[in-house]
Amino acid sequence: MKLGRINLNVHFLFGFFLFNQVILAQSDETADELLPVMILSEAPQSEASSVTLLGGDMVTLGGIQEVRDIQTVLPNFTVFDSNNTRTPKFSVRGLRENNYGAGQAAIGMYVDGIPYTDMMSRGLSLYDIDHIEFLRGPQGTRFGVGAAPGGVVKVNTRQPGSGWRTAAGFGYAEHDTQEYRLNTSGPITDQLGLSLSGLYNDREGFITNLPTGQDIDGRETAAGRLQFVLTPSEAWTIRLSASAESHDDGFVPTYNPLTDGGPYRVNRDVPGYVDTDVSTYGLTANFSGEHLSFSSVTALRNWEQDLQQDFDFTAIPQPVAEIGFIPVIGVSQPDVEQLSQEVRLGSGDSSEAYQWAFGGYYANRSTDSVAGSLYPAGLFHPQLGFIQGPVPDYTTSMLSDEDTALFLESSFNLENGLTLTAGLRYQNSDRSINRSSSSSSLGSSNDWDDVLPKLGATYSLSETDTIFASAAEGFQSGGFNFYDGTPESAQFDSAESWNYEIGWASSWNEDRTHTRIAVFYSDFENYQVYRLNPVNPTQAYMVNAEEATSYGVEIEAETEVAETLMLSAALGLVNAEFDNYTDSVLRGALGPMAADYEFSGNDINFVPEYTANVAAHIKLPWNLFMLWEVQGIGNYWLDEANTAEQDSFALVNGRLSYKRENWELFVYGRNLSDEGYSNNALDLRYTDYSNPASPRTAGMVLHMPGWPRTFGAGLKASF
């Protein structure tokens, strides 16, 4: 079936390219333009916090292709792999997310106005993108999912225009990687437009399983999006959309320093798999009048995953009684369904001195999960002796999350160039759980609410210089853990934070250079931290660090040096610490005499000391264009105890293209220096099958390696 799909795509696209070369219907108006890597010049200058735009032309084959790639240009914004990039985790300004589904997201995310509120379903393939916008800091007084303290990411796809446009692309790279993209959009009638987009990607693995000699981490993706856009009048726009993605993946890249031959050479008796399916349906209505604006977004989303991985991280297929070793397969089968409604009402004419916006948000999310361990060869039981396998040890849980929010923001523009902004949000989050396993069961519910204020100001020093400042409270709801623990450890509390920012945005050199500098400080209370279950590493739990802080600086710049050279740069520096943090669950496992559960004063793990990006977009003779990019990531700890560290590293990316009217031929290289690094890790130092309360060496921090060097080439065309 897979081979048939590949052949069908190949035949279709080659036919399309041949047809395109014959027709040459129209030239691409932007073919000869030198496009910036990021677009500070088009970011709103009236915002009271930092905003960065990424142009859709950077979201392309050989460039930004999925959510994990966004980090390449945003300061203090890092994306860590989880489940083979299908459930990415964000680290923003000292606030980092966990590897599992418990807890609340550090950022809010929207795709065409549809909210992605959970931490599981954000591993999107990015295709047919118009632009991506990142608003830093809490945005709860403006957006339904804006209470998260890290900010809001808005992904906006291309919408149908006044004429028909068709584009297609084909790429081939190392590891037998091939990708096909197709989009067509245009008017069906004067008032109704259509957009249809899709992609197919298939890649063999780069992780070799030494016992079999096979590459076991292959990936396959199929995705599609259909949109109908109705404009019954100049003021109204109504959009009906449906999208789906399916991922068929193998081994989740992991490296055990104690048993594996290297980051890309592992020993496993079970290669494992990760299958993920997601579908999204949305109905959006927007009205823009002279005195009033209105928007409504109704969305239904479903995300499900089926994962099995070798969780003893060895190639040993049988139990070894002498050391208490038991082969174990980790099993995870979450299913997330969400219905949401967001409504916003505001002033219409943006030129008026007084602006206001009022909104309401409701989301009902249910998560059904089966997670735990499967012992394929059997299990040692203290009373019954050895039990012949396979022996399942699963925890079944049903979580219900209900969020309701009302939010208001208004701003007043004074004649002296000063704009004052004030906002308020009320949020209520109801959480309930029904959980059962072979040893216990739990049914519980609770709710958390908060009132979140925001104050901001911008002041125009001149037509080219603006300073801004803001203070806003962020909120992450409390909730319940999936794993089979005690009733006392089942619940974690909500996290609150105060976030402060002051900055300066400026234009220079006759509007050819744009810069933004921002300084921030965040004070967290009950910072949410995940830890692996010391008895069963296939499960995790959330706890609260009583106090944590982060502060830092961000600098962004872009400049048009000449008509043939565009430069951009971004630098983020951050210091983030646990001021007061004792892991009470781990203390219960280790005993009162141990000290390995105390993390106060430690740096927050998975928060790089710095992020840096320098990019050059160069226009060469003979219709050639070149893009060079260097991305630097500073040191970061892989565990809360600060015993395992990822050293700083740099990734070098390059792309060379030949553009001619409506088509482009390109070659590219990612991670050209073949830098090795850990893009995530799991702390397994406390998991000993013979004695769970005995910490093991730091070598039992399991690493998830980043992707190796990759060369590729491709062709894009449009008409």
What is the mean pLDDT of the segment spanning 108-136? 89
Say yes or no to pLDDT of 7 above 80.
Answer: no
Q: Specify the pLDDT at position 65.
A: 83
What is the tens place of the pLDDT at every residue in 137-146? 999 999 999 9
Residue scoring higher pLDDT (691 or 253): 253
Say yes or no to pLDDT of 219 above 80.
Answer: yes
b/e map 504-527, b = 16+ CB within 10 Å: ebbbeeeeebbbbbbebbbebbbb
Rounded distance, CA 450 to CA 446, Å?
Answer: 14
Q: Specify the pLDDT at position 477.
A: 94
Q: Rounded to 5 degrees, what angle do the CA atoms 73, 77, 78 make?
A: 100
Q: Specify the pLDDT at position 110.
A: 95
CA atoms within 13 A on the CB side of 21: 8
Q: Specify the pLDDT at position 485.
A: 62
Contact 177, 712 (CB under 8 A): yes
What is the mean pLDDT of the segment spanning 648-655? 94
Instruction: Tell me which H or E stretch contains 590.
Output: helix 584-590
What is the tens place of the pLDDT at every residue in 16-71? 333 333 333 333 334 456 655 556 656 666 677 788 888 877 788 788 888 888 87
Residue 698 binned pLDDT confidence (cut-offs 50, 70, 90): very low
**Which residue segments constitute the domains of the chain, with CATH numbers given?**
2-718 (2.40.170.20)
For the chain, what is the radius of gyration of the CA atoms?
26
SS3 at position 426: strand
Residue 595 binned pLDDT confidence (cut-offs 50, 70, 90): low
Q: Rounded to 5 degrees, what angle do the CA atoms 109, 160, 12 make?
A: 95
Residue 395 binned pLDDT confidence (cut-offs 50, 70, 90): confident
Rounded distance, CA 163 to CA 126, Å?
Answer: 23
Residue 347's nearest CA partner among 414, 408, 425, 427 is 408
What is the tens place of the pLDDT at every residue in 574-587? 999 999 998 777 66
First to last CA, the chain: 31
Rounded distance, CA 23 to CA 673, Å?
Answer: 41
Say yes or no to pLDDT of 501 above 70.
Answer: yes
Contact 452, 475 (CB under 8 A): yes
Whether the bond between 88 and the residue before it is cis, its omega within 30 degrees of 0, is no
Instruction: Tell me which H or E stretch contains 488.
Output: helix 487-490
SS3 at position 16: helix
Say yes or no to pLDDT of 692 above 70.
Answer: no
Q: Specify the pLDDT at position 40.
A: 63
Q: Specify the pLDDT at position 616.
A: 93
Q: Specify the pLDDT at position 594.
A: 58
Q: What tokens appear for 106 in the block? A: 């550090």
Say yes or no to pLDDT of 242 above 90.
Answer: yes
Residue scoring higher pLDDT (688 or 145): 145
